[in-house]
Amino acid sequence: MSIQSKSAVAKGDGTFIITNVTVAEPKAGELLVKIKAAGLCHTDYDSLTWGKPIVMGHEGAGIIEKVGPEIKDLKVGDQVLLNWATPCLSCFQCQEGNQHICENNSPVVAGGNGHTPGHAHLEGSQWEGKPIERSFNLGTLSEYALVKESAVVKIEEENLNFSAASIISCGVMTGYGSVVNSAKLAAGSSAVILGCGGVGLNVINACEISGAGRIIAVDINPNKLELAKQFGATDVILADKADVGLANVAEQVKTMLGGRGADYAFECTAIPALGAAPLAMIRNAGTAVQVSGIEEDITIDMRLFEWDKIYINPLYGKCRPQIDFPKLVRLYKKGDLKLDEMITKEYKLDDLQLALDDMLAGKNAKGVIVFD
């Protein structure tokens, strides 16, 4: 029996509506999750212009409402975090340990948030009489999400704080994983973070957890720098928008770090003109990390790589959902991973426009949509 699920549907033309999506029973290997909370990320704003109707949202946490046939280890009532990697566990990359870039299921590897077998059966979600895709195989900005079993991670902790848990799914995992899984930041080292939004603040938090000695936060918004201090920044630099490529900031960073530059720099702004900036911040043989996923053509002065610099471009913090998500929940319970502090404001789904406006205005560390 199908149900009506109040959802945010991006229309593909830059707008969205709150509307009912008809959701079917889960088929084999699928689950119906009642969403309790869904975090907002800049990518949700991007999803408004993907040129096709889509159930929005790709971060979230909830409770299993129904299980389809052939589901063995999960049951109705289980608390779950949603993840958009949905690894198949059998392709070349999954076997290599790169579940986040699964060759069969990743909506990102497929390009343009492509529809993949990581998505629950497409006809299972219908809008205006037609099948509709779910953002990143999830579509968490909806009362109910029909997803593949591989899209959920069961969380055993009692009385899970769903708001806090919901942001693990993307921004926290991306920030933490880029530092710990990808850059493998060494204790005592120095790091520069360009852009202190939802992702950048999580990079800062992870640098602190990893024992970085200097954590230099850079943003054009002074409010974000105040937040950065709360999440572990030891130094902050207010950048000037006119400082294209952040050349002045790079000079300040060098001066602060013995004339040499940082061991690591993380780019978290998604601004194409800053694509080369992390290279300018690091010392010889340092590591630059492209966290935001800039996809435009940019020009790079190859001397910025001199000498022996490494520039990596991790996706989703090299997420291995079943390993990383429970670990992040444990770090949160221990008080190291600051998730409650990350949530500036909770909104109802009907107030999604306000939540997006607040995000774009830089008011929030993270906004979360909560469901009854």
Ligand X SMILES: NC(=O)c1ccc[n+]([C@@H]2O[C@H](COP(=O)([O-])OP(=O)(O)OC[C@H]3O[C@@H](n4cnc5c(N)ncnc54)[C@H](O)[C@@H]3O)[C@@H](O)[C@H]2O)c1
What is the per-residue DSSP string for 271-302? -GGGSSHHHHHEEEEEEEEE-S---S-----G
Q: Which is nearer to Zn ion, 171 or 261 (CB)?
A: 171
The answer to whether 265 and 290 are in contact (CB under 8 A) is: no
For position 88 contacting Zn ion by CB under 5 A, the verdict is: yes
Quickly tell me which residue has 């993307």 as its tokens.
Answer: 170
Question: Closest approach of Cβ 99 to Zn ion, in Å?
Answer: 7
Q: Which is nearer to ligand X, 58 or 309 (CB)?
A: 58
For position 47 contacting Zn ion by CB under 5 A, the verdict is: no
Residue 200's binding partner among ligand X, Zn ion, none (Cβ under 5 to 8 angstroms by kind) is: ligand X
User: Residue 331: enclosing H or E segment and its boundaries?
Assistant: helix 321-334
Burial string for 43-69 (b: 16+ CB within 10 Å, else e) reads bbbebbebeebbbbbbbbbbebbbbbe
Restricted to residues 214-273, the positions that interact with Zn ion (CB under 5 A) are none
Question: What count of other Cβ atoms lies within 10 Å of the Cβ of residue 252?
Answer: 17
Tell me which residues touch ligand X (CB under 6 A): 41-43, 46, 170-171, 174, 194-200, 218-221, 224, 239, 241, 268-271, 291-293, 315-316, 362
For position 315 contacting Zn ion by CB under 5 A, the verdict is: no
Question: Closest approach of Cβ 104 to ligand X, in Å?
Answer: 19
Residue nearest to ligand X (CB): 197
Question: Closest approach of Cβ 36 to ligand X, in Å?
Answer: 21
Restricted to residues 168-207, the positions that interact with Zn ion (CB under 5 A) are 170
Query: What are the residues whose beta carbons fall under 8 Å from the beta carbon of 203, sequence distance 6 or more?
Result: 175, 176, 178, 179, 191, 193, 266, 268, 291
Instruction: State how far the Cα of 266 lies from the Cα of 289, in Å rounded to an integer.
Output: 5
Instruction: State how far the Cα of 244 lies from the Cα of 211, in Å rounded to an integer.
Output: 31
Q: What is the DSSP letter of 180?
A: I
- Determine the interface stretch with Zn ion among 13-21, 162-170, 237-245, 326-334 (rule: CB under 5 A): 162-170
Q: Which is nearer to ligand X, 5 or 106 (CB)?
A: 106
Q: Which is nearer to Zn ion, 250 or 359 (CB)?
A: 359
Q: Which is nearer to ligand X, 268 or 331 (CB)?
A: 268
Restricted to residues 95-124, the positions that interact with Zn ion (CB under 5 A) are 102, 104
Question: Closest approach of Cβ 85 to ligand X, in Å?
Answer: 10
Question: Closest approach of Cβ 153 to ligand X, in Å?
Answer: 17
The answer to whether 143 and 37 are in contact (CB under 8 A) is: no
Which residues contact Zn ion (rule: CB under 5 A)? 41, 43, 88, 91, 94, 102, 104, 170
